[in-house]
Amino acid sequence: MVASPTASATRAEPKPAPAVAPRSIARLISRVRAEVMDALDRELAVHDMSAAQMIVLSTLATGEADSASGLCKGISYDPGAMTRMIDRLEQKGLVRRRPHPEDRRTMNLELTAEGQQLYPKLAAVKDAVLKRFLAGFSDAEVATLDRLLNLMLANR
């Protein structure tokens, strides 16, 4: 059976992976992530926060997740460690657990008023750190980097 021209035109064949040193790219991505997280930890210390805690608050503030399991999936975090982190953020008065209205086994998470008030300050620190790491990049290069990293995520 011969495929119709429209069927083959609408179905894009995946491009083969380029001949590069994948370990080098993976190592660089890992190193950049570690350096960014370390810089965030240092800068956020004045707010008694860690980079990991800021990421949780950011994920809740932007509505990307509203439960511990959603946070774990969204930021690739261990469930046990996430429970302990939520406990710490709750003790700091930044996050609260609320029963899910339709599933009594699930707890929804939300920022408290204090968490909502602190979040913009943390976001400003994150933006300043990322700006420092992107110094010397043109706007077009930043857009290309963003596009390429998202493409890598889409290929997983």
Residue 35: what residue type? E
Contact of 68 with 107, CB cutoff 8 Å: yes
Q: What angle separates helix 22-44 from helix 113-133, to the nearest 10 degrees?
A: 130
Q: Model-level pTM?
A: 0.77
Alpha carbon separation from 101 to 27, 33, 39, 53, 113 (Å, rounded): 44, 37, 39, 26, 21
Q: What is the DSSP letter of 16?
A: P
Question: Is 19 in a helix, a strand, or coil?
Answer: coil
**pLDDT in tens for each of the 156 residues of the chain?**
444 444 444 455 666 666 666 668 989 999 999 999 999 999 999 999 999 999 999 999 998 888 888 888 878 788 888 889 999 999 999 999 998 888 777 889 999 999 999 999 999 999 999 999 999 999 999 999 999 999 998 998
pLDDT at position 74 is 79
pLDDT at position 1 is 46
Q: Would you say the C-alpha torsion 152, 49, 123, 40 has a positive or negative sign?
A: negative
